[in-house]
Amino acid sequence: MSKTYIIGNWKLNPETIKKAESLVRGIIAKVSSSRTKEIAIASPFPFLSMMKTVADKKISLGAQDVSMYDDGAHTGDVSAMMLKSMGVKYCIVGHSERRADGETNEMVAIKVRKLLDEKIMPIICVGESDRDTAGNYRDILAEQVRISCAKITPKEADSFFIAYEPVWAIGEKAKRGAHPDECLEATVIIRRELANIVKDTKKATNAVILYGGSSSQETAPEFLRVGGVQGFLLGRLSLDAKSFSSFISSL
């Protein structure tokens, strides 16, 4: 049986470490990783140490960004080696909210390399801003994958995840999530680009792709069945232990 991946992205939440601890305790009281489901939370950096102690392998540790640098004069940055030393297993890179703040595909590629060098699994976010009727979104998506993944070697074909997150479907302002068939089309484009990068169509077919963007427990099983993905990156839902755990239980 193949594994399903559910990764929560807490973003800039919750407000305090006390609230973060209560949230993660609420989550692990209801769910934990198993042979068939891998659960991880990408928490803010200051909570990582607490998360490691409290979660105690029931859920894996994730981070939301990494520095392009290893050390030196980069105020505010956190390096891949620092994350590794905290027990971080996954790290989101290229989230649309960071891309909106100026992160380019080239910067994402450098971050991916840093993470791979530390054996941290990058979760590389890609996704178009609009589904234009002319179909330009296909080229945008392909270019994001091509450049963001350019520093991955063929031997690392199973060392990274892609998160397909159409920007128009993310967050409170989204009018709707994507349909599974829209997601499937995106995964075909992504896998075609990955095949060139890892130089192996079968490995590209097996690469883990997550869907993110207003996912719900009603639609999630259909995404796994026909959407071409093996799991989900969840924003808002991961901030409520009950919603997050019932989403996971529904899969």
Which one, 33 or 214, has the nearer CB to ligand PEP?
214
Indicate whether 33 belongs to the interface with ligand PEP (CB under 6 A). Answer: no
Identity of the amino acid at 247 = F
What number of residues does the chain have? 251
Distance of CA 140 to the CA centre of its chain: 19
- Which of 38, 97, 103, 165 is labelled catalytic? 165
What does the DSSP 8-state code read for residue 46? G
Residue nearest to ligand PEP (CB): 235
Give yes or no: 193 in active site. Answer: no
Give the gyration radius of the chain's Cα atoms.
17
Give which of 147, 249, 222, 138 is closest to 186, Cα–Cα.
138
Indicate whether 44 belongs to the interface with ligand PEP (CB under 6 A). Answer: no
Which one, 198 or 220, has the nearer CB to ligand PEP?
220
Pairing of strands 90-93, 121-126: parallel
Q: Tokens for 182?
A: 């829209």
Show the binding pattern over residues 129-168: x = contacts ligand PEP (CB under 6 A), - = does not: ------------------------------------x---
Indicate whether 170 belongs to the interface with ligand PEP (CB under 6 A). Answer: yes
d(CA 235, CA 110): 25
Indicate whether 6 belongs to the interface with ligand PEP (CB under 6 A). Answer: no
* 52, 171, 179, 216: which one binds ligand PEP (CB under 6 A): 171
Beta-bridge mates of residue 8: 41, 234
* 8, 213, 227, 228: which one binds ligand PEP (CB under 6 A): 213
83 backbone dihedrals φ, ψ, rounded to 5°? -60, -45
Indicate whether 60 belongs to the interface with ligand PEP (CB under 6 A). Answer: no
Give yes or no: 74 in active site. Answer: no
Task: Report which secondary-structure segment, H or E, holds 164.
Answer: strand 161-164
Q: Under DSSP, is residue 40 helix (H, G, I), strand (E, B) or coil?
A: strand
Show the binding pattern over residues 225-244: x = contacts ligand PEP (CB under 6 A), - = does not: --------xxxxx-------
Which positions are catalytic? Answer: 95, 165
Binding site for ligand PEP (CB under 6 A): 9, 165, 170-171, 212-215, 233-237
